[in-house]
Amino acid sequence: MLDYKTKVELLVLGVRSSLTPLRRGGGGPVGGIGFAVKDSIISAPIVQSFAKESPYLLLEKEKSFWLYKGEERIGRVKLPKAKYYEHKIKGISAGRFVALDGVNALVTAVTRKCIHVDSGKKCIFCVIEENVPEKQILEKDPEDIAEAVKVAFEEDKSRHLTLTTGTPNLLDKGAIKYSEVAKRIKAEFEIPIHAQIEPVGREYLELLYSSGIDTIGIHVETFDERIRKAVVPGKPDIEEYLKAWDNAVEIFGEWNVSSWILIGLGESVESVVSGFKAMAERGVYPYIAPYRPPPNSSERTDLSHVLKVYEKLGEFKGEYDIKLKFKAGCPRCTGCSAILELLSH
């Protein structure tokens, strides 16, 4: 496994390569390439302008790809294969319904429309409504998603599925659509499913669990109240997240609930530590990840700040019984965060 500092550098500085991302848009960080090296999975920026200056390079030699930092060869690289992209659904590539991220993470945005965008309260890091290809579907039919997932899963049974969505309303926030998709998939075959959603009432969390969803992500994004209204202006207060996490842990079980905290949006180190503790004390997996600017942005994330945060979090290693095995979703993929590497060494 890579040391956490090397992985953080890859996540923040990106990697140079002629390869292109398999996942072009949707919810979460985009513009990255997934690969594995030394048993670590990386989703590194590659199309962003700053990645062109990265000291890290993927080179094809001896019929394999290798990761280099300058002249130093770090290790042989495993690249994901996605032959299922050739499968057509309604004349459209299956990869446009369900993309491959990281190395074995399938991901789909069941809807790419979000009320926070419509109301002018879009999260500052979100690109879910941007860069929609001509042959992309904003509202995906559960049958089409299930077909794409089945083809992808038959290609590689190690894969797991993440369901994302824009927030379609302020009541169920996408839970009903998630439930329809999960039921349709689980009625035909078994694949671990993760769903990402804003805080919702307990009845909707129970609906998600009963529909066959294995793990859930309720992403607070930042614990820093100074910047929260600017970063996620449409999302609920932190107290709503704490309540939703407690309910979700009771329903899904400890360490089957996760939350992202982003580093690099102007937050204090102390706020990330506070969020880490609040999650770990509840049995919520703290997925702490550097902010990845979108491809068309001139932003850069401060590497020294990210390393400072991880160094501080490393002081809590062993203090909490955090289970690093996750059935599905970002904490199983591990591509965008160095928490696994930080807590495993």
pLDDT digits (tens, 9 = 90+) for 210-245: 999 999 999 999 999 999 999 999 999 999 999 999
Give Cα separations from 265 to 115, 198, 224, 274 (angstroms). 22, 20, 10, 16
Q: Is residue 72 part of a domain?
A: no
Please give the angle made by the CA atoms of 239, 181 and 218, to the nearest 5 degrees: 15
CATH assignment of the domain containing 86: 3.20.20.70
What pLDDT, in 10s, does the model give residues 4-33? Answer: 999 999 999 999 999 998 887 777 789 999
**Whole-number Å distance between alpha carbons of 103 and 85:** 15
Rounded Cα distance between 125 and 127, Å, is: 7
Q: How many domains does the chain have?
A: 1
Please list, in sequence order, all residues whose beta carbon lies within 8 angstroms of the beta carbon of residue 229, skipping any fewer than 6 positions away.
Answer: none
Give per-residue pLDDT as tens, 66-82: 999 999 999 999 999 99
pLDDT at 108: 95
202 φ, ψ to 5°? -55, -35
C-alpha distances in Å from residue 322, one per residue of 133, 250, 270, 315, 325: 39, 16, 20, 14, 9
Reported pTM: 0.96
158 in any annotated domain: yes
Residue 42 lies in a domain: no
| 76 is a domain residue | no
Average pLDDT, integer, range 169-177:
97
Q: What is the DSSP string of 242-268?
A: HHHHHHHHHHH-TTSEEEEEEESSS--
For residue 303, the Cα-to-chain-centroid distance in whole angstroms is: 20
pLDDT in tens, 309-342: 999 999 999 999 999 999 999 999 999 999 999 9
User: Domain of 134?
Assistant: 82-344
Cα-based angle 236, 242, 246 (whole degrees, multiple of 5): 130
Encoding tokens for residue 107?
């991901």
Within a domain: 144: yes
pLDDT tens sequence across 132-170 = 555 456 789 999 999 999 999 999 999 999 999 999 999
100 occurs within a structural domain: yes
Identify the CA nearest to 238 among candidates 282, 301, 178, 207: 282
Q: Is residue 38, in this structure, part of any structural domain at all? A: no
Token pair of 175 as six digits:
């839970």
Contact 328, 192 (CB under 8 A): yes
pLDDT of 135: 47
259 burial level (CB within 10 Å; 0-12, 13-18, 19+): buried
CA distances from 255 to 3, 33, 180, 187, 314 (A): 23, 27, 25, 26, 19
**Euclidean distance between the first and final Cα of the chain, in Å?**
9
Residue 116 domain flag = yes
Q: Look at residue 85 in the predicted model and tell me its pLDDT.
A: 97
